[in-house]
Structure 1
């Protein structure tokens, strides 16, 4: 898929996800900046690695990322319920929360990219 094909599709996706016109314009500017800087190519490569893992033969290869995310989420919930180690610092708790946010955000973004790619292939 070429960028000439992907850019209009990603623009349409942005229009559907973000109802506010100002936010749409800002997101499209950021997308253009990412394309120019090559960052989008890096994200596409990362998504390819995750997709290859998800289609792997081994159960562990397919499942290790979701298992790690569930463990980190469990640690956050345990902390909120007061079931964690008393010397666990707030910095560690915030780092766990950041990892979970990044993981969930990455999953959502990769699913969006997969849907756009499927539409382009059709």
Structure 2
């Protein structure tokens, strides 16, 4: 999650600045505690944002899977199979032109979206049922079904 990495990079220099302050140990400790509290709050908000994005993706996948049209339900697998054919042809030098860097980037984005979509598809029933059942009262076993 690049957003989480960005948040960590923002707070790291601030922590080192606190160490360089010419104040008492108590003031530095109080400032560190305030920074940690702010960092925790920012990370919690970032995680909430990431959770909302995943839920939006899951609802999109669910809408596609539940769609009336055959094409609406199957365009992602067809696209990934097309990418697979292009990669195989490119690997054996059977394409007239090699796949460009942009094509490989598109493949990475598509594969990432497909994997996230499939993961979201599997998680969607748990999100719909009520989310976080399985933390307590299950003897340490999650509600994971395969």
2:84 aligned with 1:73, yes or no?
Answer: yes
Distance 2:117 2:93 in 1: 28
Residues 12-27 of structure 1 mapped to structure 2, 5 A cutoff: none
Structure 1: distance between partners of 2:74 and 2:99 = 27
Whether contact under 8 Å (2:80, 2:111) holds in the other structure is no
Aligned residue for 1:50, secondary structure, equals helix
Equivalent residue for 2:96?
85
8 Å contact kept, 2:80–2:110: yes
1:57 pairs with 2:71: no
**TM-score (norm. length: structure 1):** 0.57
* Unaligned stretches of 5+ residues in structure 1: 1-30
Higher relative contact order, chain-length normalized (CA < 8 Å, sep 6+): 1
**CA shift digits 1:78-104 (9 cap, x unpaired):** 111111123543x13522441343134
| Structure 2 match to 1:42 | 53
SS of residue matched to 1:69 = helix
The match for 1:98 is 108
Deviates more, 1:111-120 or 1:52-61: 111-120
Q: Distance in 2 between matches of 1:60 and 1:77?
A: 24
Stretch deviating more after TM superposition (56-65 or 108-117)? 108-117
Instruction: Find the aligned partners of 1:81 and 1:108 in 2 and give their Cα distance.
Output: 29
The separation in 2 between residues aligned to 1:100 and 1:77, in whole angstroms, is 16
- The total of aligned residue pairs comes to 89
CA-based RMSD:
2.7
